[in-house]
Amino acid sequence: MDENPVLVEKREGYRVLTLNRPDRLNSFNEATHERLMAALVEAEADETCRALLLTGAGRGFCAGQDLSNRVFEPGVVPDLTRTIERWYNPLVRKLRALPMPIVCAVNGVAAGAGANIALSCDIVLAARSAKFIQAFAKIGLLPDSGGTWFLPRLVGAARARGLALLAEPLPADKAEEWGLIWKAVDDESLIIEAVKLVEHLATQPTIGLALTKRALDAASTNTLDQQLDLERDLQSEAGRTPDYAEGVTAFFAKRAPAFTGRR
Ligand code: T3D
How many A from CA of 66 to the centre of ligand 1? 7
Rg (CA), the chain: 19
Q: 80-105 b/e with 16+ CB inside 10 Å = b?
A: eeebbeebbeebbebbbebebbbbbb
DSSP summary character for residue 74: T
Q: Could you identify the atom of ligand 1 that is nearest to the CA of residue 131? A: 24
Chain-centre distance of CA 34, in angstroms?
17
Domains detected in the chain:
6-201 (3.90.226.10), 206-253 (1.10.12)
Q: How far apart are CA 134 and CA 106, in angstroms?
A: 15
Pick from 67, 83, 106, 109 the residue to mutate for probing ligand 1's pocket: most ligand atoms within 8 Å of its CB: 67
216-250 residue pLDDT tens = 999 999 999 999 999 999 999 999 999 999 999 99
Closest approach atom of ligand 1 to CA 70 = 1
pTM above 0.95, yes or no: yes
Q: Whose CA is nearest to atom 2 of ligand 1?
A: 80
At residue 29, the pLDDT reads 96
Which residues in the chain come in under a pLDDT of 50? none
Is the shortest distance between the CB of 238 and ligand 1 below 6 Å?
no
Note whether 124 and 197 are within 8 A (CB): no
